[in-house]
Chains A and B, each alone.
Chain A
């Protein structure tokens, strides 16, 4: 399983764009990159998933460079309600395998 490394915590201000980078140097050819968001006392919520280049949905964008050894979750114009823990995971969608949740990045949005 590819190991991921992300910052333990980040602070930002309301209205700013926030970029959280995840490193996954040992990513395999069939691995996808998935991001989750977790609020206190709730289960994680799926945000976005991608394989290469750029993926965008109504919540976030995911940027993946050509070598796929890292990825960046971009949250546009954050608000106080975006304060949460964000997890980056890497895994093969086609295998009977399991994804490991690390400690994630604790994002704190300030007014």
Chain B
């Protein structure tokens, strides 16, 4: 069966520090991968999605970036975090575009 791993579960970072969140999927090949952010009490905001290695689409201009160095690995990064980057970050995968998505447990990021 397929599983998705996302870490860390919680993270506290100072403003201006770098960020790296990692997501890996097991049990499937060539998945579509997604990064979302959810502010407290709000809906999910799609940040990036990828249909293959090295193929990243950005949905929202910001100081975040994403990379897909391997088929089942998706990384969310920032060189300098802002206070507004606080939130709940979720990684998800699907077999094909717009197929049901399967989410990881999320990373709660707090910026101080």
Chain A residues in contact with chain B, CB under 8 A?
32, 34, 36, 41-46, 49, 87, 91-104
Chain B residues in contact with chain A, CB under 8 A?
34, 36, 42-46, 49, 51, 57, 59, 88, 90, 92, 96-106, 108
Determine chain A's interface SS by DSSP, over half rule.
loop
Residues of A within 8 A of B88 (CB): 41
Specify which of A42, A93, A104 is in contact with B98 (CB 8 Å cutoff).
A93
In the bound complex, how far is the Cα of B108 from the Cα of A101, in angstroms? 19
In the bound complex, how far is the Cα of B104 from the Cα of A95, in angstroms? 24
Nearest CB of B to A64, in Å: 16
Specify which of B36, B42, B99 is in contact with A93 (CB 8 Å cutoff).
B99
Other than A46-B101, A101-B44, give 10 A-B pairs with Cβ distance below 8 A.
A41-B106, A41-B108, A43-B90, A43-B103, A43-B106, A94-B98, A95-B98, A98-B98, A99-B98, A104-B43
